[in-house]
Structure 1
Amino acid sequence: TGFSEEEWEQYKQLGLLHLLAISGLHISLMVACIERLSWRSGITREKTRGLLVLFVVLYGFVIGWNISGTRAIGMVLLGVLSKPFIKKRGSTQMDCLLWMAIASILVWPGILLNVAFQLSYGLTAIIIFLSKWQRAVLPRIRANIWVPIGMSLIALPLLCQYFFYWNILSILLTALFSMLFEMLLFPLLTTYLFAVLLSFAHLIEVLTTVGEVILSGVSKVLTFCQQLSFTKFTLGIWDKWEVALYLTILITIGILFERRRMTMKKGVLGGLAILALLIEVPYHWGTELVMVDVGQGDSILLLAPGWNQATLIDTGGLSDFKKKEAWRHRKKKDQGITTVVPALQAEGLAELSQVMLSHGDEDHVGNLKAIAKHLTIRQLIIGKGMETIPLMQEMKKKYPKIQWRLVLAGDEWKWNETTWKVLWPKDLSHAENEDSILALVTVMKQTILLTGDASEKVEEAVVHSHPNLQFSILKAGHHGSRTSSGEALLKLVQPRLAFISCGKHNHYGHPSPETLARLKATGAIIFRTDQDGQIRLRFTREKLEVTTRLTKRKKELKQ
């Protein structure tokens, strides 16, 4: 894309990534400019069409035929080539967009699932619609102000589907960027291209300097805006009824404008309705447990009713299983940034009430710093003694406002409508597997046993000290390892559900056939992240409902 990761994240946080999805729009401006210059120079329409076709095809090779550019070039080609065969003015922009979408799908059916395709074609359709509507309904308002604002509002649910939050500055910045490009950058770019073609070295140098100054100024403005955290609202993925209601409100407002019936009172009511809906979108109405698919690691999210009412049990993280020579090392993407943080933001979360870390292994705590950077953590829960490890010391220094709960066996507390009881460790934790926090979490009528990476030896000790132990849902220990979820535990308690978090084709061969056989013998229904992907468990007063993302499994159990 030509953007560094920092620039990409900057555009994302400011809600401006949709500008990149429609970046091919400048091609239509360049084509219009070439058309005018050709006609004024006395070049015939037929030769002008040939020149335009040659230009956009060559430009396609320059930009690498990305999805947005290909769409724009295809629309230009269809519009230009259809004029001799279609009366009046040739194909409309919407016709060209539709034919390009059909052609793209026929060439590559999988493009329908591509985010860039959906944003590029979807947002372009919105712009075409708004441009026509604006000319008919709001002719006194400049299109380069109204259209970006309207696009930002209409596309909000679509943008939240992929980026999960909305920066209120995106409306203003989108309008400003559009005006900046149309009034300054586009003329500058056009002049630069002609200077290159005519070999005006001095002019090229001047234009390059001017362009660098403008882009540097834009970068400084974006950096300043990025630091304004109060303008960013995490909304998460919208429910279908929320999208339908939101669009209904916008359409109603549009109809009132079109029929000249919009009044101040109706405008205020419409604005309040949109505001109320935006406040409702991130609200959780029920209690859910989500097994985040972090590969060979653990990360479990417990959601309670309300805004930002969530507990994260372990963060996941990537481990290097084999040492490699320096030249074979490849820079890995931070799993916290690519997987866990988006999973949390998709739920509409901007903060976490609790983060409990079972022990100190990288695949359980490795994403903690990334999460703390993007979400507010209210409280960290760890085994007493684990606060001495370097990661915890770093967290204390960097995030002094985080509260700490150091737990040992016997500790109990309540959070929202859930009850937590620690069964292990008994002694000071050294953050090892055998020091994993074993905890019972009671949600309504169900009790969940969280096990971290505890072995059979720890399980036997817990069974010995808690002979009346009861739970209905088991998070299998150590990713389904042969040395966890042992006979002693499963003879005492036969869980209804068993969840295993492990990576596909992982280095250790988890889950082991022996563990799977033991779990099946208890009658437990088994769910695995390596096969099922993300697993979601919904609690209601009457039933439990388990759904999976990859395999689309659905299981309902009575409470």
Structure 2
Amino acid sequence: MRGYWHFAAFSVVVSILTIYFKTNWFIVGFFLWLLYLYYYRKLGSIPIIMSIISFLFYWVYIPNIDVDMPRNDMISKETSHSGKITSPISLTSNKVEFLFQERQTQNKVSVIFFPDEKSSSKSFLKHTSIKHGAKCIVHGELELPEQTTNPGQFDFHTYLLKQGITHQIILQSFDDIECHGGSRLNQIFTLRDNLLNYVNDKYSKKTSSWLNALVLGDDSFISEQTVDLFQRWNLSHILAISGLHVGLVVALLYFLLIKLNILTKEKAKLIMIFFLPLYALLAGGEPSVWRASLSIMIFIILNKAKLKFNYTDVLSIVFLLFILFDKYIVYHVGFQLSFIVTFGLILSKNWIAQSNSSIFQLLQISFVSQMMILPLQLSYFSTFQPLSILLNVIVVPYFSIFVIPLMFIFLFLSPFPVSIVKFLDYFFVHIHSIFIHLVTLIDKHADYPWIIGNMPIVATVLYYVLFFMLMKYLQSANHPKAFTYGCSISLLIVCLAFRPYLSPIGTVTMLDIGQGDAFVIELPYRKGVIFVDAGANFTFNDFGSSDKVYKQIIKPYLYSRGINYIDAIFLSHEDIDHMGSVEYILRDMKVKEVIISDYYELDRQTVKLWKEYGTHIRRLNDKIDINGQVFQTIGPTKDMKSPNENSLILYTKFGGMSWLFTGDSGKDSENEIIDRYQNLAIDVLKVGHHGSRTSTSKIFVNQLDPSYALISVGKKNTYGHPSADVLEILEKEKVQLFRTDLDGAVQFRYKNTEGTFYKFLP
């Protein structure tokens, strides 16, 4: 099998894709490909047999998340669980978390404790003596995480299942867990925690945050703004310990052992074999660091055994071993990105080696790395920053040559006198601040991401075929054909970006944002994107708006739909649960105009801020045409002396149905509408004020005669919404009701004059 292990690895990839996408077409293509290779004698029988065996074994071995997904009726009612802790203890200022394996069922459970004002995370650890490998009795009810209720929203339940975690237990107090004992690995994890604390004490906050991230694999101390900046520019790989970091550690240690005549080369290699797993654990144990560590270990072992394997074989063997030891690792994003980038660079090594320019080689490496992860980037984040290829040429050398080596040196020099440590600290902070400021300036003036949405599997397969053909002809210096395939890739990406502009389907989506309203309207052929309200939660510190709803629900939905431009945002009134996310939308996206009523109270500071974002503010009291979609204002007709009663009430048509959006308007506003528009009839009613008894009178519903009603309301909210009176009125009038607390997001998809409602939750 020497020189052919990548065929076995590829067969496992086919098994992963077959399970993940639930289609047998990958199997058909795989066996036809093997038949072709065997028929034309391009591959011997042994590699083919090994590939088939690998495929069949891992096809059975790798878990199918949908099949294994637990249900509420499967949860044990037991409140006392015995077992052992199987993970390091994750400790933050406001949370303690670890994995616990039940002894009886062998299920893996996430155990979480949130300290109150009287306690702290550290005091909890001291009180309970929990540690890796400890045998414990946990008192608490097994539960499933909250279901995702919106398209594009992060699915925490599935995220846990992809780690083999079936349930979670939320501890209420110190007394809910009793532990004793521990494992030898706990000493390593304790050493890591001590190192993290030691670094925080020795260096300033800015220096220690980067040292902990780049040497010990803990980026939790880096500011949220910097993490967001690096994510936007596809630079997150810098923050994760990878082959570069491991290579530097090995080179430095090997240099010290040999050049200082401490050990012979043979003994130094033996030290490496034992040291690398230790460093992988100290560095957080992420897939990228284990991949690099295991690859070097295998190379050393093979070299000592005088066996010659190429790097592709070693990488393939490491890939197979990874999955063999942890079958859930295939769902880990870091595992996927680490291996696919490394594999792409190996395939491109001849092309990269052809260049005599170091700068051009860096550009080539950046190009291959970014192009290899593009489909995954779109699948997970729906966006891609094309200019990141160029920025990586600046950032990667800076971190590789300056920051990462310096962080390791800082760790070794930390016992030196305080004056030396402070000088080094000041030097790094000064230089690094300038560099981060430079990246921030680039972000401010050159941030033009492609927000495309998800990449279909057919397009993904076609993309990689085209990309591999591009690289093949680049390596053979056949530039005309390489140019043709490069253009084909560009055309494919452009077609993906233009999908919404070719679709005759329009949608109206009532997002589930809890106790608040947020409707997103997407006109057919992407003629326009319109919001009717964009609510948010409020913060308990100053009762201002929180960005939680925007970050977790609104933004992921917009990105999943390929939306980065909004034509208009209608705001019914000034309550946070209807307009709290507007500030964050304006900050991230281009919004043409915000439309409000004549009685919407808008302070000067807000007006100034919105205009700085380039958004026009329009007051509406009649009707408006937004790219062919006409909205008629039918309220408020006068100042009702109340923000709720002054809600902007809109009438429009979608899919042959007439719609009425009522904001938080109450019965007084409803009576005004009845008196003024006596012949008004609608098909779809957005129920006022989340179903409060102050709205939706019997006479109002009777006269409008809607067929459907939409209520945007928080699950188990403290207001008692929707009220029993409103529900009874709608039921007696035989109105079909959709509500976000039960149905999740509700979407109306229409084409021409026909449309259908869909619930996100079954």
Query: Which structure 2 residues correspond to residues 526-545 of structure 1 after superposition, within 5 A?
Result: 526-541=737-752, 543-545=754-756
Displacement after TM superposition at 1:394 (Å): 4.3
**1:527: Cα distance to partner?**
2.7
- Is 241-250 or 169-178 further displaced after alignment? 241-250
Q: CA deviation at 1:206?
A: 6.2
Name which of 389, 407, 412 aligns with 2:620: 407
| Alignment map for 1:517-556 (pairs within 5 Å) | 517-541=728-752, 543-549=754-760, 551=761, 553=762
| 8 A Cα contact 2:662 2:687, kept in partner | yes
Residue 194 of structure 2 corresponds to: none
> Which of 430, 444, 453 is the matching residue for 1:236?
453
Note the residue ranges of structure 1 that are not aligned, 5 or more in a row: 554-559
| Cα distance, 1:398–1:205 mapped onto 2, change above 3 Å | closer
Give 1:73 deviation, angstroms.
5.4
In the alignment, the residues of structure 1 paired with residue 303 and residue 688 of structure 2 have an alpha-carbon distance, to the nearest angstrom, of 68
Q: State the identity %.
A: 22
1:465 partner letter:
R
Residue equivalent to 1:376: 590
Cα gap change, 1:243 to 1:475, in 2 (>3 Å) = farther
Q: Does residue 184 of structure 1 match 2:402?
A: yes
Given that 1:94 and 1:125 are in contact with CA atoms closer than 8 Å, whether structure 2 keeps it comes out as no
Q: Quick one: which of 273, 276, 295 aligns to 2:491?
A: 273
Kindly state the Cα deviation for residue 77 of structure 1 after the two structures are TM-superposed: 6.5
Alpha-carbon distance between aligned partners in 2 of 1:81 and 1:456, rounded to the nearest angstrom: 80
Q: Distance in 2 between matches of 1:135 and 1:393?
A: 55
Which sits farther off after the overlay, 38-47 or 79-88? 79-88
Query: 2 CA distance for matches of 1:378 and 1:438?
Result: 21
Indicate the SS of the match to 2:625.
strand
Structure 2 length normalisation: TM-score? 0.62
Map 1:59-138 → 2, pairs under 5 A? 60-61=281-282, 63-65=283-285, 69=289, 88-89=308-309, 92-101=314-323, 103-106=325-328, 112=331, 117-118=332-333, 120-138=334-352
Aligned 8 A contact 1:383 1:429 in 2: no
Corresponding position: 1:216 with 2:216: no
Residues 50, 524 of structure 1: CA spacing in aligned structure 2 closer, same or farther, 3 A cutoff?
A: farther
Deviates more, 1:149-158 or 1:516-525: 516-525
**2:573 is the counterpart of 1:354:** no
Q: Does 1:304 align with 2:523?
A: yes
Query: What's the secondary structure of 1:508's corresponding residue?
Result: coil
- Change in 2 beyond 3 A, CA 1:418/1:308: closer
How far off its partner does 1:345 sit?
3.2
Q: Distance in 2 between matches of 1:258 and 1:178?
A: 24
- Structure 1's 472 and 452: CA in aligned 2 closer, same or farther, altered over 3 A? same
Cα pair distance change 1:452/1:101, threshold 3 Å = farther
* Alignment map for 1:307-322 (pairs within 5 Å): 309-319=528-538
- Structure 1 543/527 Cα, relative in aligned 2: closer, same or farther at 3 Å? same
- Give the superposition deviation at 1:225: 0.5
What displacement does 1:78 show? 7.1
Query: CA, structure 1 residues 536+78, in 2 after alignment: closer, same or farther (shift >3 Å)?
Result: farther
User: Across the two proteins, how many residue pairs are aligned to each other?
Assistant: 533
Provide the rounded CA distance (Å) in 2 between the counterparts of 1:81 and 1:288: 59
CA distance change for structure 1 residues 59 and 140 in 2, over 3 Å: closer, same or farther? same
Cα gap change, 1:94 to 1:500, in 2 (>3 Å) = farther
Tell me: CA distance 1:14–1:383, structure 2 relative to 1, closer, same or farther (3 Å). same
1:68-110 superposed Cα distances (whole Å, 9 cap, x missing partner): 556655666677778889954597223324433454445xx8x
Aligned to 2:180: none
1:472 lines up with 2:686 in the alignment? no
Q: What is the distance in 2 between the residues matched to 1:207 and 1:461?
A: 72
The 8 Å contact of residues 386 and 431 in structure 1, kept in 2 or not, is answered as no
Q: Deviations over 1:255-289 (max 9, x none)?
A: 43356544175266336525633652564623111
Larger mean CA deviation between 426-435 and 270-279 belongs to 270-279
1:442 aligns with 2:659: no
| Contact kept in structure 1, 2:681 and 2:704, CA below 8 Å | yes
Return the alpha-carbon distance in structure 2 between the equivalents of residues 464 and 433 of structure 1: 19
Shift of 1:163: 3.6
Deviation at 1:137, TM superposition (A): 4.4
| 1:155 match: secondary structure | helix
Specify the SS of the correspondent of 2:471: helix
The answer to whether the 8 Å contact 1:311/1:354 transfers is yes
C-alpha distance in structure 1 between counterparts of 2:739 and 2:299, whole Å: 51
Please, which moves more after superposition, 330-339 or 11-20? 330-339
Does residue 150 in structure 1 map to residue 368 in structure 2?
yes
Matched AA of 1:505: K
Residue of structure 1 aligned with 2:666, choices 455, 469, 472:
455
Q: Contact 2:507–2:521 (CA<8 Å) still a contact in 1?
A: yes
**1:132 Cα deviation after fit:** 1.6
Q: TM-score, normalised by structure 1?
A: 0.82
Provide closer, same or farther for how the CA distance between residues 298 and 459 of structure 1 changes in structure 2, counting only shifts above 3 A: same
Question: What's the offset of the Cα at 1:20?
Answer: 3.3
Task: From 692, 699, 712, give the equivalent of 1:488.
Answer: 699
Shift of 1:5: 1.7
2:721, 2:402 → 1: CA distance? 58
Q: Distance between the aligned counterparts of 1:283 and 1:181, measured in 2?
A: 41
Amino acid at match of 1:297: G
- CA distance 1:185–1:403, shift in 2 (3 Å): closer
Moved more, 16-25 or 2-11: 16-25
Counterpart-to-counterpart distance in 1, 2:642 and 2:550: 20
Per the alignment, residue 245 of structure 2 pairs with 26
Change (3 A) 1:331 1:54: farther
Deviation per residue, 1:194-245 (Å, 9 max, x gap): 5458x58887666545533442232122011111146334333344454444
8 Å CA contact 2:248–2:405 kept in 1: the answer is no
How many angstroms does 1:470 deviate by?
Answer: 2.2
SS at match of 2:348: helix
What is the deviation of 1:446? Answer: 1.6
1:430, distance to aligned residue in structure 2 (A): 5.2
Amino acid at match of 1:406: R
Distance 2:245 2:744 in 1: 40
Deviates more, 1:420-429 or 1:19-28: 19-28
Give 1:388 deviation, angstroms: 4.3
Which residue of structure 1 aligns with residue 17 of structure 2? none
Aligned residues of 2:685 and 2:706 also touching (Cα < 8 A):
yes
Q: 1:24, CA displacement in angstroms?
A: 6.5
Q: Name the aligned partner's letter for residue 276 of structure 1.
A: V
1:53 to 248, 256, 274: 274
Shift of 1:374: 1.3
Q: Secondary structure at the match of 2:645?
A: helix
Shift of the 80–298 alpha-carbon distance from structure 1 to 2, 3 Å rule, reads: farther
1:249 aligns with 2:461: no
Q: 1:234 to 1:228 in 2, by over 3 A?
A: farther
Mapped partners of 1:391, 1:535: distance in 2: 35
Which amino acid in the other structure matches residue 676 of structure 2? Answer: S
Contact between 2:469 and 2:485, CA under 8 Å: does it hold in 1?
Answer: no
Distance 2:501 2:458 in 1: 14
- Contact persistence 2:250–2:272 (CA under 8 A): no
Does the CA-based 8 Å contact 2:586-2:610 persist in structure 1?
no
Cα distance, 1:164–1:271 mapped onto 2, change above 3 Å: closer
Q: CA deviation at 1:13?
A: 3.0
Change in CA separation of 1:136 and 1:370 when aligned onto 2, cut-off 3 Å: same
Q: Deviations over 1:521-545 (max 9, x none)?
A: 4444433222333332211136424
Structure 2 residue aligned with 1:557 = none
Corresponding residue for residue 287 of structure 1: 506
Unaligned runs of at least 5 residues, structure 2: 1-218
Query: Secondary structure, in 3 states, of the residue corresponding to 2:535?
Result: coil
Tell me the distance in 2 between the aligned counterparts of 1:78 and 1:104.
19
1:3 aligns with 2:240: no
Contact kept? 1:299, 1:364, Cα under 8 Å: yes
- Is 1:17 equivalent to 2:236 in the alignment? yes
Q: Structure 1's 354 and 4: CA in aligned 2 closer, same or farther, altered over 3 A?
A: same
CA RMSD of aligned residues (A): 3.7
Cα distance, 1:295 vs structure 2: 1.4
